[in-house]
Amino acid sequence: MGKEQDENAGYLRIQDIPALNQSHCKMRDPERVEKIINEFVCGGPERMQFVSDFDYTITKQRTEDNLPVLSSFGIFNACKSLPTYFKEESDKLFHKYRPIEIDPHMPIEEKVQHMIEWWTQSAKLASGFAFDETEIEHTASKFKRALRDHTHELFATLLRLQIPVLVFSAGLGNSVVSVLQQANIMHPNVKVVSNFLQYRNGVLDGFQQPMIHTFNKNETVLDGSEYYELVHTRDHIIVMGDSLGDADMANGVPASSHIMKIGFLFDHVEANMEKYMNTFDIVLVDDQTMDVPRALLALVEQRHQLRHPHVTNGAS
């Protein structure tokens, strides 16, 4: 009887979810957020998937000691054995193309051409010399300290609930995997889709296909893949990112899906606020933790345990 009552305990309210009532947690449409949470909770973990950006989403935008956090490409560029011209040329490309990437006025279609050029030239630059990947591991080991607070707990919950996790990065996959591995969160339910180094005859030969750049970073590039097969029936999706383009990562999933988009905003808060509010369902201002996504999953897990006490909680 008690169980039945709990199960019908009714609609969850935003005001009863402390993580969503923090002053830095902003929502354009709290009713919509509330509705999606209730869909998630009713559907249970088996309908959920989790999609996250890596750079400055899994890693922090700001660390306590204010030490800069390198991006996944940055970790590669910091490797000591790279040819001297590499860093110079790579910086030149960055200074040419980065302003285009974030230009608020240029239309996306026009940007795409430039981004393809950037990633292509970067791949060419990373070609024709020997490179030992353990160097990436060495640099990456310093950046496991830069993961958002409670990232371990988040990934442990996702594993416990067997929710597939896609870490989607237009950066360098080798660095992403290395950081996740060294932080012990590269669990079997975690898949990294990104740009990985390619070798030919023992020397570096750019990146493997398909190229993942800022504007094709969405589930359409997964079409027909093994991962797509795994997740295409999971229509309850949490998407997390720190850039506006990250909100599109779930494009390509069926239109009937329920998607909760969480955006981490840190730089130029005032100038960016309106766009972030219009793009993400939840905007977290200078939040260097995983507490909000964890709170959502905790609600899903609680209701799931009430329904299936024998499945998820062997101890009780």
Tokens of 51: 């999609």
Map the footprint of ligand MG7 across residues 53-92, applying CB under 6 A: 55, 71-74, 77, 90
Query: What value, to the nearest 5°, has the Cα angle with vertex 190 and ends 140 and 116?
Result: 70
287 binds, among Mg ion, ligand MG7, none (CB under 5 to 8 A by kind): none
Check residue 293 for interaction with ligand MG7 (CB under 6 A).
Answer: no
Question: What minimum distance in Å lies between the beta carbon of 24 and Mg ion?
Answer: 19
Tokens of 251: 């494009």
Residues found near Mg ion in the complex (CB under 5 A): 53, 55-57, 242
Judged by CB, which is closer to Mg ion: 207, or 264? 264
Q: Is 149 a catalytic residue?
A: no
| Residue 44, CA distances (Å) to 21, 47, 111, 183, 312 in order | 23, 6, 39, 28, 12
Q: Is 242 a catalytic residue?
A: no
d(CA 177, CA 179): 6
Question: What minimum distance in Å lies between the beta carbon of 207 and ligand MG7?
Answer: 9
Which residue out of 16, 29, 55, 205 is catalytically annotated? 55
Which residue out of 29, 53, 246, 291 is catalytically annotated? 53
Binding mask 248-277 for ligand MG7 (x = CB under 6 A): ------------------------------
Question: What minimum distance in Å lies between the beta carbon of 172 and ligand MG7?
Answer: 8
- Do the beta carbons of residue 292 and residue 315 sit within 8 Å? no
Judged by CB, which is closer to ligand MG7: 211, or 285? 211
Burial of 129 from C-beta contacts in 10 A (0-12 / 13-18 / 19+): exposed
**Start-to-end CA span in the chain (Å):** 18
Omega before residue 254 within 30° of 0, cis: no
Query: Angle of helix 291-307 relative to helix 151-160, nearest 10 degrees?
Result: 30
Check residue 122 for interaction with ligand MG7 (CB under 6 A).
Answer: yes
Check residue 49 for interaction with ligand MG7 (CB under 6 A).
Answer: no
Residues that bind ligand MG7 (CB under 6 A): 55, 71-74, 77, 90, 93-94, 98, 101, 118-119, 122, 169-171, 214
- Catalytic residue annotation: 53, 55
